[in-house]
Amino acid sequence: MQCSGGGCVADPRICFVTNKTPAADIAADRLRQRYGESPLSAAEIVVALGGDGLMLQTLHQVMDRGIPTYGMNFGSVGFMMNDFNENDLIERLAAAQRTRIYPLSMQVLDAEGITRSALAINEVSLFRSSYQAAKLQILVDGQVRLDELICDGAILSTPAGSTAYNLSAHGPILPIEAPLLALTPISPFRPRRWRGAILSNRAVVKFLTREAEKRPVSAVADNVEFQNVREVTVTEDRSHHVTLMFDPGTSLEERVLTEQFRF
């Protein structure tokens, strides 16, 4: 129980998940013994012990449940995670800053004429699937903006994902609250000097593959991949959201800002 001038409030129901490494599993068992555990179906907060990959998987699991997620780093980078400490967890959760993130919706038309869909918290990526470079036409809100991009692929990133693969491909870092998306080419060959674009989060972005039989392309929304795509349409989806929790002073907004001054 937590008590204040307004009375006592029961501790939150917590579901612990891990990346299945021995260290994370041992830590999770200790946390369960100290703080109890609730199944995901009844949880009020999810505590994820792992790295950014586990965090993305967990966020996809809880997206339609409205459960905030608090990560503790047992991975390599841990950009979306807090430092691990098994003490004072209830107090940390109560003090945590919350950030709401809206995903991208990816609609794909494949070579069989089948339409498929997936959501992406970080980014939607298109990749060449053979030794041949991809040829992509890019439309924004129905207007052709780039008639032909010859490349290894392209990324459309949310602000939350702009410091991930997008940054590795030399794309811009977006402030987490900015109503923007980052469109970034991967190893562009023609036009060689095109470095991408910053778009409104209300934009409808469509990729059309050219010479698709000769130059097959796959489309990926976070960790969901569809092969042999012909058209990929991406929009921000405001009907879904996830909530991340961070210790005070280490919010996602602060992390994204700090990343812009690294060299």
Please identify every residue annotated as catalytic.
Answer: 52
Q: Is 102 annotated as belonging to a binding site?
A: no
Task: Tell me if 156 is assigned to a ligand binding site.
Answer: no
Q: Which of 174, 176, 169, 164 is nearest to 250 (CA)?
A: 176
Burial class (CB in 10 A: 0-12, 13-18, 19+), 262: exposed
| Residue 165 assigned to a binding site | yes
C-alpha dihedral sign at 222, 226, 230, 231 = negative
Count Cβ atoms below 10 Å from residue 148 Cβ, excluding itself: 14
Annotated binding residue 4: no
Annotated ligand binding at 120? The verdict is no
Residue 160 annotated as part of some ligand binding site: yes
166 annotated as ligand-binding? yes
Known binding residue 218? Answer is: no
- Known binder of ligand: residue 73? no
**H or E segment and range at residue 197:** strand 197-200
Two tokens, residue 148: 């032909």
Q: Which tokens sit at 194?
A: 């095109």
Phi, psi values for residue 162, rounded to 5°: -70, -20
Q: Please indicate if the annotation marks 158 as binding a ligand.
A: no
Q: How far apart are CA 69 and CA 58, in angstroms?
A: 8
Which parts are annotated binding residues for NAD(+)?
Answer: 52-53, 122-123, 152, 160, 163-168
Which parts are annotated binding residues?
Answer: 52-53, 122-123, 152, 160, 163-168
